[in-house]
Structure formats: C-alpha cells, structure tokens
Amino acid sequence: GHGANPILKVDHVTKKFGELVAVNDLSFTVEKGQIFGIAGPNGAGKSTVYNLITGFYPFDGRIEFDGRTISGLQPHRIAQLGISRTFQIPQTFPSLTVEKSISVGNRFGAQGRFDPAYVEEIIRFLDMQAIRHQPTGQLNLLGKKKLMMGAALATRPKILMLDEPMAGSNANEIKDLMAFIRRINTDMGVTIIIIEHFMKVLTELTETLLIIETGGEICCGDPVAVTCDPRVIECYLGD
Ligand code: ADP
Ligand code: MG
C-alpha cells in the first residue's frame, strides 16, 4: 500500500562533501514489507544515501526509522535498531567458515546476544548446510553474495539495504539472486531497499522505484511508469 505503514522516512536530506553536493534535498518514504528500488547514473549519490541512513556521515535534514528519528545516532545503534546493509563489492573474511561468518553477523545484531538457533535458520535459508565448514574464500561469486546477505540477515534486521547486488553476475546468477531476494522479503518478512543498474531487475522486483541524479529526485513511483518517464530516459542517455 501507499503511505499506509511507513518504516523509513528520508526527509529533506542534503549531504555535501566540500563543494560537492552528493545528496540534494532528497525525500522518500519506504513502506513496511515492500521492496523499494533506487537507480540513477554513476555518481548520482545512491551509495551515499545508504551511508547516511546507516549513520556513517553527518548530514542536513532528518531520517526516521520505525517511528523514531535516527539522524545523529552512531552506526552501531542504527544497526541494533534493525537496519542492515551489504556493500557493492562482496566483503567476506576469506579464511572464516560459512558458519562463523553468519555467527559474526548474528553477534552484531539487534538481539544483543548470540542466538545459535537463528544462525542455524540462516544457514538452512542459504541452503549451505553441506558447506558450513568451508572457508568463504572458496565460495564462487554467487555464494559470496548470498553469504553476505545471510550475514546481514543474521543481525535480524527490519530493513535490508542491498547495494548493486547483481553487479558482475551472469543471466543465470541474476535469476537466482532475484528469487533469493524475493524469499528474503516474503519468507523472512524483511523490508528491502535495492540499488541496482539493471532496469529489468528493478521492474520485476520492486513495488516503488526512485530515480536520482546529482543527488536529487528525478522521478518516484510505480517502476514500470518510472522507467517509461521521459525525464528518466533522458538522464540514462546522458550516463
Ligand atoms: P553512486 O553510488 O550513485 O554511484 P556515490 O554516492 O558513491 O554515487 O557518490 C556520489 C558523489 O559523492 C560522487 O561524486 C562521489 O565522488 C562523491 N562522494 C561519495 N563519497 C564521498 C566521500 N566520502 N568524500 C568525498 N566525495 C564523496
Ligand atoms: Mg554506488
């Protein structure tokens, strides 16, 4: 639904790095339970928006999560409240086993204590029982990506933010990852924000799509309508 049950409100947020305006008076609302997409040309400010939501930089404006203002809170507090993310480049500790990596994620989580049963649930969700003792460095790209999402899920987030999860993947891997992301949303009940370049992925996966350019909104709404919008087509031609 629209406007019925907001979980995240970004309210007139601006971020400057010196002279550069990376995010420019940006506002948007994510509804509980939805998959919300963000796209835009390189350097548009997409990853910076994630860094602001997760508390890595100070900024102007306000961000509200689950009914409370989170602007100004430390990153670990925001993580504890239930916001988790993955990074553009898969970041795993190559010598750590699958099981350990999920356990480490769990220790950083909202629970505030270790929950072995939940770690087990995540390993099953990843279908990685048979390779639980393998070092993550031995996983292929798809495996590494799923593991990263699993470690993020092990914190028991209310929102999972994915930064270009399809990057470097072939058509089959993209199909697999799309199904996996849908399962995170439906089976685990986690609200998802996804930054992605592939429009086909965004139109198939998301309920709402926000396009940004030079840190500001170009268009936001139904993903099919948004991708047909002349302003969006123009900003992509300039990419
Ligand atoms: P996107 O993820 O959409 O490709 P980014 O959010 O990474 O874009 O970057 C937006 C703009 O902000 C770019 O011009 C980038 O160079 C700049 N930027 C991002 N992070 C920093 C930083 N820590 N210091 C200075 N400039 C930055
Ligand atoms: Mg980026």
Residue 194 has a pLDDT of: 98
Q: What is the mean pLDDT of the chain?
A: 93
Kindly report the pTM of this predicted structure.
Answer: 0.95
Could you tell me which of 51, 72, 144, 152 has the C-alpha nearest to residue 108? 152
The pLDDT score that the predictor gives to residue 3 is 66
Residue 234: what pLDDT? 85
Q: Which region among 25-34, 43-52, 107-116 has the lowest average model confidence (pLDDT)?
A: 107-116
Q: Give the residue, by CA position, lying nearest to ligand 1 atom 26.
A: 17
Higher pLDDT, 236 or 102: 102
pLDDT for position 170? 95
Ligand nearest 239 Cα, by number? 1
Residue 93 has what pLDDT?
80
Give pLDDT, residue 176: 97
What percent of the chain is predicted at pLDDT more than 70? 96
What is the number of the ligand 1 atom nearest to the C-alpha of 44?
3
Return the best residue to mutate from 10, 14, 19, 20 for the ligand 1 pocket (most ligand atoms within 8 A of CB).
Answer: 20
With a 6 Å cutoff on the Cβ, whether 45 touches ligand 1 is yes
Whether 236 has a pLDDT exceeding 80, the answer reads no
Q: Whose CA is nearest to atom 21 of ligand 1?
A: 17
**Residue range 44-64: mean pLDDT, rounded:** 97
Please give the pLDDT value at position 1.
Answer: 44
Cα–Cα distance measured from residue 91 to residue 166, given in angstroms and rounded to the nearest whole number: 14
Residue 69: the pLDDT is 98
pLDDT higher than threshold 50 for residue 142? yes
* pLDDT attached to residue 113: 75
Is it the case that residue 239 has pLDDT exceeding 70?
no
Return the ligand 1 atom nearest residue 23 CA.
10
User: How many residues make up the chain in this entry?
Assistant: 239
Q: With cut-offs at 50, 70 and 90, classify the pLDDT of residue 106.
A: confident
Distance CA 80, CA 92 (A): 21
Bigger pLDDT: 234 vs 206 = 206
Angle, helices 116-125 vs 141-153, to 10°: value is: 150
Tell me which of 61-65, 104-108, 161-165 is least confident.
Answer: 104-108
Best residue among 42, 48, 162 to mutate for probing ligand 1's pocket (most ligand atoms within 8 Å of CB) is 48
Ligand that lies nearest to the alpha carbon of residue 88, given by its number in the listed order: 2
Residue nearest atom 27 of ligand 1, based on CA coordinates = 17
47 lines ligand 1 (CB under 6 A): yes
Could you tell me if 227 and 202 are in contact, meaning their C-beta atoms sit under 8 angstroms apart?
yes
- Ligand 1: residue whose CA is nearest its atom 17: 22
